[in-house]
Structure 1
Amino acid sequence: MTVRILYFAALRDAVGLSDESMALPSGVGTIGELQCFLADRGGDWAVLSPGRNVRAARNQRMVQSGETVAPGDEVAFFPPVTGG
């Protein structure tokens, strides 16, 4: 299954990409599994490691790590935003 992945703010700066399309390997079917798969690239991708404060959206809707990913989805990762 192929998905489009977007990276925002400090995550975009750390990984050096704003977006990419990717065919996911078998076993990657949730937002959390996708995040771990990306973090396992190593190096700068560690910003997506479990336990890091990263938010995710699927098709422009905020989701939790257990949310299922479907073919053609757009998944966005970004750091939390503070306001004031």
Structure 2
Amino acid sequence: MILINYFARYREQLGLGGEKIALDESLRNIDDVRKLLIARGVIWQEVLGESSLMCALNQELCTPDVPIEDFDEIAFFPQVTGG
């Protein structure tokens, strides 16, 4: 089982703060999880298909190609800019 969290406007757009999904052999990295979620429909494609999407694994920023393991926590959030 992996925990997935959605932050900022992603949470608002999806109407979901987080969820748990079963980890299987088809989910080797964060990008595999993202693709699985995008297959859910249009809103998922719009949110998780953004080129500026950021992700974290176990509360550390990372790239989508990072391998995942059972009990990992994945977070998706939009790019944040400061000023």
Fold match (TM-score > 0.5): yes
Residue 59 of structure 1: aligned partner:
58
Q: Which runs of 4+ in 1 moved over 3 A?
A: none
Residue 13 of structure 1: aligned partner:
12
| Structure 2 residue matching 1:75: 3-state secondary structure | strand
| Structure 1 residue matching 2:65: 3-state secondary structure | coil
1:36-75 equivalences under 5 Å are 36-46=35-45, 47-49=47-49, 52-75=51-74
Contact 2:55-2:62 at 8 Å conserved across structures: yes
How many residue pairs were aligned?
82
Residue 27 of structure 1: aligned partner:
26
Q: Match of 1:16, as an amino acid? A: G
Contact 2:3-2:73 at 8 Å conserved across structures: yes
Superimposed CA distance per residue, residues 43-81 of structure 1 (whole angstroms, 9 cap, x where no aligned partner): 2111112x5321000000011111001100010000000
| Structure 1 residue matching 2:5: 3-state secondary structure | strand
| Structure 1 residue matching 2:28: 3-state secondary structure | coil
TM-score using structure 1 length: 0.90
Contact 2:23-2:70 at 8 Å conserved across structures: no
Q: Match of 1:28, as an amino acid? A: L
